[in-house]
Amino acid sequence: MDTSGKIPSDDRRETAEPQLVELSSVEEEWLGGLLATAESRGLLKGIDTLGEAFEAEREDWAAQPAHRRPEPGRIIRLYAVAFGQLLAMEHDLDWVGLKKSTAVEIVLWGGPGENTLLPISMVEKRWHDPAVRSLEDLYRQTAAGLGN
């Protein structure tokens, strides 16, 4: 099982319009690995726990000399998947693929006629610009928009 945090890719055919697709077995395994890591680290206990851990992780990362910092994508994806899973559990959302051209982004979907959420992009923005909004505020705003 690959838990590197890198989003797996597959060879599904190119499409012109974005479309929702089922996750491939490789994508499901990737997602499952990150969810298991998030669970083992206690990140799925709630948004306050997740938000505090996210801020601490980002502060620890930023405190390192730039030449010693690891690439943050793996960290971001772990927190993004945990963030998304909290929303999925509370609002009955499903993890699916959003296929754009030849790339597939793993997203949350509430069903026909419902919004698609991009937790990886959402959390990545918070990592790179903490002044935008805390993870907890982002979660509460997103949850309020889902309304169920």
DSSP 39-59: HHTTTTS-HHHHHHHHHHHHH
Predicted pLDDT of residue 16? 63
H-helix or E-strand containing 20? strand 15-21
Q: Say if residues 122 and 83 touch (Cβ distance below 8 Å).
A: yes
Q: What is the mean pLDDT of residues 80-85?
A: 98
Domains of the chain: 15-146 (1.20.120)
pLDDT tier at 112, thresholds 50, 70, 90: confident
**Reduced 3-state DSSP string for 58-123:** HHHHHHCCHHHCCCCHHHHHHHHHHHHHHHHHHHCCEEEEEEEECEEEEEEECCCCCCEECHHHHH
- For the cut 60, the answer to whether the pLDDT of residue 132 exceeds it is yes
- pTM of the full predicted structure? 0.85
- Write out pLDDT tens, residues 22-79: 999 999 999 999 999 999 999 999 999 999 999 999 999 999 999 999 999 999 999 9
